[in-house]
Amino acid sequence: MKYVLSLVFFILTFLIPTSALAVECEGDPPSGVDKAAEIAEYINKCSQKINDLQGQQQTLKQVISTINSKINLTQAQINQTQSQINALEKEISVLSGVLETVNDSMNQLSAIYVARVRESYRRYRTNKMDIVFSSRSFGEMMEKIKYLNTLKARDQLILAELERSRLDYGQKKEDRVTKQKEVEKLKAKLLGQKKDLDSQQAEKQKILVITQNDERKFQSLLSQAKAELIAIESIIAGKGDETEVKDVSAGEVIAKVISGPSCNSGGEHLHFIVSKIITDPAPGQPNGSPQNPFSYLKSIDYENCSGSSCGSDNGDPFNPSGSWDWPLSSKIKFSQGWGETWAVRNTWVRNIYKFHNGLDFSGSNLDVKAVQPGRLFRGSYEGVSGCALKYVRVRHKEGGIDTFYLHVNYF
């Protein structure tokens, strides 16, 4: 259902309604390593403002204001990430200098004190008898022996300290490697944030172009999006006006995707639903339960356009694991997945639905094929929008399953 709202999806991508009591999130975000606290405070203000905007009436002016807040928030997050990178790189530079200096010093000290220890041991071994015969008394002899033992213990203590320093040096080297890895992760994060910012700025421009800054046109698009959601849910619930047609085989062409805009849809796509049949449903309850289509469809060549942009890293998972051929021919352009999708998590779409009940995609041509043999039905549903959403349904011969193919024309 990403294309359930396809005419307004670019609007919904960053749409959250606004409140007059929203926290201020204005002006250029602060930047710089020394502004970490200010950046964090700015991010908190923007996040709070966006949270305060939820649940209010949607207007075009409010949408633009919300997108501006999201742009400011993303720019502040970029500044924060860059600040963290700069701080870590500075720490790495300082740490590298310290390690080099400490290493040189330890090498020199080690050489000096190793020589001292060796000399002390040599003198202790060769002078034992001299100490005895050169001492005028037993007390003097004991003092000399005590002095030599003290020198030996001191040298050993210094060497132990040097060894501890070497261990500390090793730990600092590990710390430097860890910080370097953190920098690489932050740079990847920064790249993603910059892509999000570019996408947000582009979406703002799209809204202004498509709506022509006209509030009535904007409200019409929102109404259309809500109307399609109602229509799709009603079709799954068995409320569509259907005609039984014939038996069809797997791979047989059963319809064609509508080229261009259609009822409640602004773009060419197929909304594909797999539904488990519920025998004798309770009065007023749906007669089908939507299933994850990826559990039935096999692998296919595809382009993932379900995230912030085509080919982005934040798109919905594309993980088919079944045996069915797809209803459209490859290469598939995948625009929204199953379940809690990127659109649900990141856009105003979540204010309309929390769970996507099928897959949205287009193919290399308009032919729609049955994924399994069964009985073909042609249907439509005319809802509050006043237009009829066309679809076909195949009741499979096996497995107790219906498959729905929406936004299509019949032969």
Residue-level pLDDT, tens digit, the chain, 411 residues? 444 344 344 344 334 333 333 346 888 899 888 888 899 999 998 888 877 765 555 778 887 888 888 899 999 999 999 999 998 988 888 878 777 777 776 676 666 666 666 665 555 554 555 665 566 676 766 776 676 667 667 666 666 666 666 667 677 788 888 889 999 999 999 998 998 888 778 778 877 887 788 888 887 777 777 787 888 888 988 889 999 999 999 999 999 999 887 776 768 899 999 999 987 776 656 678 899 999 999 999 999 999 877 888 788 999 999 999 999 999 999 999 999 998 887 765 666 788 899 999 999 999 999 999 999 999 999 876 678 889 999 999 988 999 999 999 987
Pair of tokens at residue 192: 């993603």
The DSSP 8-state label assigned to residue 383 in this structure reads -
Does residue 255 sit in the same domain as residue 332?
yes
**Residue 279 domain flag:** yes
Which pLDDT belongs to residue 237?
85
Map residue 249 onto helix, strand or coil.
Answer: coil
d(CA 273, CA 30): 47
Does residue 367 lie within any of the structural domains? yes
Question: Please, which residues bridge with residue 289 across strands?
Answer: 276
Domain that includes residue 297, residue range: 231-409
Say if residue 164 is in the same domain as residue 238: no
List the end-to-end C-alpha distance of the chain, in Å, as a whole number.
Answer: 24
Residues 250 and 109 in one domain: no
Is residue 271 located within the same domain as residue 169?
no
**Domain assignment present for 218:** no
Write the CB contacts of 172 (distance below 8 Å, at least 6 apart in sequence): 95, 98, 99, 102
Regarding beta strands 302-304 and 332-336, do their DSSP bridges make them parallel or antiparallel, or are they unpaired? parallel
Query: Are residues 202 and 253 both part of a single domain?
Result: no
Q: State residue 314 phi and psi, 5-degree precision.
A: -105, 15
DSSP symbols for 258-317: PSS-BTTBSS--EEEEEEEE-SSPPTTS-SEEEE-GGGTBPP--EEE-SSSSTT-TTSPP
Contact (CB, 8 A) for 411 and 255: yes
User: pLDDT tens for residues 149-193?
Assistant: 676 676 666 666 666 666 676 777 888 888 899 999 999 999 989
- By CB atoms closer than 10 A (0-12, 13-18, 19+), residue 204 is buried
Can you tell me the distance from the alpha carbon of 88 to that of 82, in angstroms, rounded to the nearest whole number? 10
- pLDDT, position 357: 93
- In a shared domain, residues 13 and 100: yes
Long-range contacts of 393-398 (CB under 8 A, 24+ apart): 393/240, 393/242, 394/248, 394/254, 394/370, 395/277, 396/372, 397/372, 397/373, 398/372
- The reported pLDDT for the residue numbered 174 is 82
Region for 369 from its dihedrals, namely left if φ exceeds 0, alpha if ψ lies in -120 to 50, beta otherwise: beta
User: Do residues 46 and 25 lie in contact, with contact meaning Cβ atoms separated by under 8 Å?
Assistant: yes
What's the confidence (pLDDT) of residue 207?
A: 75
Q: Of 142, 161, 149, 144, nearest to 120 (Cα)?
A: 149
Among the candidates 184, 213, 242, a domain finishes at 213
User: Are both 183 and 237 inside the same structural domain?
Assistant: no
Residue 282 lies in a domain: yes
CA 73/CA 119 separation, integer angstroms: 68
| The two three-digit tokens of residue 323, written as one number | 């045996």
- Write out the two tokens for 103: 């290493």
The count of structural domains within the chain is 2
In one-letter notation, the amino acid at residue 362 is S
Kindly state whether residues 101 and 198 are assigned to the same domain: yes
**Two tokens at 241?**
């006006």
Domain finish residue from 163, 183, 213: 213
- CATH number for position 144: 1.10.287
Residue 110 amino acid letter: S
CB 287 within 8 A of CB 281: yes
- Given 186, 213, 240, the domain boundary residue is 213
Instruction: DSSP letter for 372, please.
Output: S
- How far is the C-alpha of 203 from the C-alpha of 201, rounded, in Å? 5
- Helix-, strand-, coil-residue percentages of the chain, each rounded to 5: 50, 20, 30
